[in-house]
């Protein structure tokens, strides 16, 4: 009798260990164009979609793309890295959002790297990357080496109700209604855009609303309705080595707010209505700006001499 009890106990223990192992989340998971979401998402048995892999990936973990494929849209609710570096990693988001980031974990870091995010036409996809946070859950979002295009609302939309920091590096946002929009309902947004191209969007290249502080470095905002729209409350923008050319308005500052925009080493030319249009805002020019060849608005609020 005792031997039977002992054997039964060992069987129960072994079954529990197997079950725990099967349900454990991995720090790194993999997706493949020929994978299957019933797999454990390991290197040798990858999943098919990002949505299939995220439930098997631990908080703070990473989903890597093994080979070319289309891996679908995804809602991210925890710290996470999605990395498609080194292969063709795409997400086709027709009639939906590409990536929605809505982490309820305080101080979350979410990274999207090396991805092609396509809305399949400006009347189909809604938003490429949508950043949401709830009160008390600060999120840091990094969008690196990505191409985002063909969305009917925004390429990247920051719609937070809490503090958020969004970093956009080496990324192209094109053929959207708006390129990048920061429209928080509460909290504060810190936005940094570096070495990126936000060109050829129907309305604004970069739309900055109340509660936004932005730095834009080495970035082109060309062939939009306006390169930068800064309005609706308190906005601060620092632009360094940026091109705002061939828009209708290079910079539109004001429209219900009192934004402050500072320019250093920027080129603003060929805009069909104004290079700089002021409607309640302030644009200060520092070192080596060229504001010339626009239909109007070829000057800034004041020129600040080098210190």
The DSSP secondary structure of 216-244, one letter per residue, reads EES-B--SSSEEEEEESS-EEEEEES-B-
Residue with tokens 């910079």: 251
Q: pLDDT at position 212, please?
A: 96
| 284-to-108, 215, 238, 241, 295 alpha-carbon distances in Å | 35, 14, 10, 15, 20
Q: Using alpha carbons only, how large is the chain's radius of gyration in Å?
A: 23
DSSP string, 118-136: E-SSTTT--EEEEE---TT
Q: pLDDT at position 236, please?
A: 95
Residue with tokens 């996470």: 80
13 phi, psi to nearest 5 deg:
-65, -45
Residue with tokens 């209505």: 273
Q: pLDDT at position 105, please?
A: 78
Q: pLDDT at position 19, please?
A: 40
Q: Which of 1, 60, 74, 2 is nearest to 31 (CA)?
A: 74
Global pTM? Answer: 0.90
Q: pLDDT at position 9, please?
A: 52
Q: What is the rounded CA–CA span in Å between residue 148 and residue 221? A: 15
Q: What is the rounded CA–CA span in Å between residue 157 and residue 36? A: 31
Sign of torsion, CA 142 227 157 174?
Answer: negative
253 phi, psi to nearest 5 deg:
-120, 115
**C-alpha of 9 from chain center:** 52
| 35-to-51, 94, 98, 210 alpha-carbon distances in Å | 13, 22, 20, 44
The tens-digit pLDDT sequence of the chain (307 residues) is: 555 545 545 554 444 433 434 457 999 999 999 999 999 999 999 999 999 999 999 999 999 999 999 999 999 999 999 999 999 999 999 889 999 999 877 788 999 999 999 998 756 789 999 999 876 778 899 999 999 999 999 999 999 988 899 999 999 999 999 999 999 988 899 999 999 999 999 999 999 999 999 999 999 999 999 999 998 788 999 999 999 999 999 999 987 778 999 999 999 999 999 999 998 889 999 989 999 999 999 988 877 655 5
- For residue 191, the number of C-alpha atoms closer than 13 Å in the C-beta half-sphere is 29
**C-alpha of 99 from chain center:** 9
Residue 21: how many other CB atoms lie within 10 Å: 9
């Amino acid at each position: 009798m005792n031997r039977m009890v002992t054997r039964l106990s060992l069987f129960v223990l072994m079954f529990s260990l197997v079950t725990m192992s099967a349900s454990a989340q991995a720090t790194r998971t993999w997706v493949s164009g020929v994978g299957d979401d019933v797999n454990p998402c390991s290197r040798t048995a990858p999943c098919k979609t990002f949505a299939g892999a995220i439930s098997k990936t631990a908080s703070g973990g990473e989903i890597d793309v093994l080979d070319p494929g289309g891996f679908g849209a995804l809602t991210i609710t925890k710290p996470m890295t999605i990395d498609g570096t080194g292969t063709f990693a795409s997400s086709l988001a027709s009639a939906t959002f590409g990536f929605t980031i809505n982490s309820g974990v305080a101080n979350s870091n979410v990274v999207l790297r090396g991805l092609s995010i396509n809305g399949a036409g400006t009347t189909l996809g809604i938003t490429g990357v949508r950043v949401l946070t709830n009160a008390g859950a600060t999120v840091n979002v990094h969008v690196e080496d990505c191409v985002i295009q063909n969305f009917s609302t925004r390429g990247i939309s920051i719609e937070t109700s809490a503090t958020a920091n969004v970093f956009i590096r080496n990324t192209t946002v094109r053929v959207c209604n708006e390129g990048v929009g920061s429209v928080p309902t509460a909290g504060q947004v810190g936005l940094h855009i570096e070495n990126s191209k936000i060109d050829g969007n129907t309305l604004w290249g970069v739309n900055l609303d109340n509660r936004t502080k932005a730095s834009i470095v080495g970035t082109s905002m060309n062939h939009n309705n306006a390169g930068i729209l800064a309005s609706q409350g308190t906005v601060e923008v620092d632009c360094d080595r940026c091109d705002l050319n061939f828009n209708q308005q290079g910079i539109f500052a004001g429209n219900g707010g009192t934004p402050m925009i500072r320019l250093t080493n920027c080129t603003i030319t060929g805009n069909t209505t104004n290079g700089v249009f002021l409607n309640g805002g302030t644009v200060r020019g520092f070192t080596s700006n060229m504001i010339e060849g626009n239909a109007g608005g070829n000057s800034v609020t004041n020129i600040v001499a080098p210190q």
